[in-house]
Amino acid sequence: MEREALRQSQRCLIKVGTSVLTREDGRIDQRVLEGIAAQCADAISARRSIVIVSSGAIALGVRQLGLQGRPKRMDALQACAAAGQGQLIRLWSEAFAPYERIVAQMLLTHADLADRERFLNARRCMSELQVRGAIPVINENDTVAIEEIAFGDNDSLAVQVANMVNADLMVLLSVTPGLMDGKRRVSLVRPDDLSAERLIRPEKSRGGSGGMTTKLNAARSAAARGIATVIADGKNPDILRHIIAGDDVGTLFVPAAEGMGSRAHWIAHTLRPKGTVVVDPGAVDALIGRNRSLLPSGVVSVTGTFSQGDPIDLADSSLKVFGRGLSTYSSTELEAIRGKRSTEILGILHFHLGDEVVHKDDLVILDQVAAIHAPDKT
């Protein structure tokens, strides 16, 4: 039943990892790349829209610069990305050329998508590209991305782009048949099934920065948005055709029955909190049980340094984080008004930005979201 729904998918995001695109010797596997392009072209001919998130620039740059292996220093990695990105987009362009499909390169960082205006600008650009028949090929902008503005892996980037384009299917191509339980492939993971986490081994993919942990996190995040995700073997020459046909291949992460809205997902899964606000039991009940805004009277303590409009985590008295939202006031201002009535704000701060510390429209209750994960820094 769940697999049959994949046949109706219209907006597909395909993430291709470095280990899928390269051979054991580190060279690009042209056969695999061209096969993925052919399958994507078939999907487009069937009136599906396709967005590709592609790794591989650093691996290509390693060879371009004559290095013996993937470097560890950030500046060397950025140099490899700069040298390899042009080669990567050329290879994708050549792979789609027989199908008369135009490829458009987009390079993004976490900072691009964490800024709401830039997020919406990127969405509009991507939409226009697809209207014009072009295929967006997206990668992290590794030439400028440092820890503070980086996703850290393209699995995390993929789910944010899937949210951006309102995808209904995300495919994470790997070099394994899917999530494995020993030698057995796990066919299906439901939103309320948390047993999948115990199957993860702490390892990275060959030549890349991710691994099954980052794929599981991305799949959980996509499920919360209402996006079906399949982790599957990208070396299989017909894997995309099988997935879209609803065949039992890879591991399908079933989406939540009622997915989050795009903005709520952006707050919960894209933004990185700048601080934490502990609230009293009455406020917890009002926020979770009655869909209320957070008022200063419910704030017990403030940690971290943040500005007006920054994302913050909300925690209960046991310090368990249960919500994430956008703060109306800075950390300094909030410290001054915590525990006070809203009518006292003007007298204390000598200005008034609103009665709420976090408005309910800027708040997501994380307990209602399946497996919130911060992006892995690998």
The DSSP code sequence of 67-85 is -SS---SHHHHHHHHHHHH
CB distance 194 to 254 below 8 Å: no
Residue 26: per-residue pLDDT: 79
Residue 209: per-residue pLDDT: 52
For 271-368, CATH number?
2.30.130.10
pLDDT digits (tens, 9 = 90+) for 251-283: 999 999 888 999 999 999 999 999 999 999 999
Fold of 4-259: Carbamate kinase (3.40.1160)
CA atoms within 13 Å, Cβ hemisphere of 221: 30
Residue 211: per-residue pLDDT: 81
pTM: 0.87
CB distance 48 to 11 below 8 Å: yes
Residue 377: per-residue pLDDT: 34
Query: What distance in Å separates the CA atoms of residue 79 and residue 86, rounded to the nearest whole number?
Result: 12
Low-confidence ranges of the chain (pLDDT < 50): 368-378
- Report domain extents, the chain: 4-259, 271-368
Residue 363: count other Cβ atoms within 10 Å of its Cβ: 22
Q: Which of 184, 213, 202, 162 is nearest to 376 (CA)?
A: 213
CA distances from 58 to 8, 84, 117, 173, 207 (A): 35, 6, 29, 18, 9
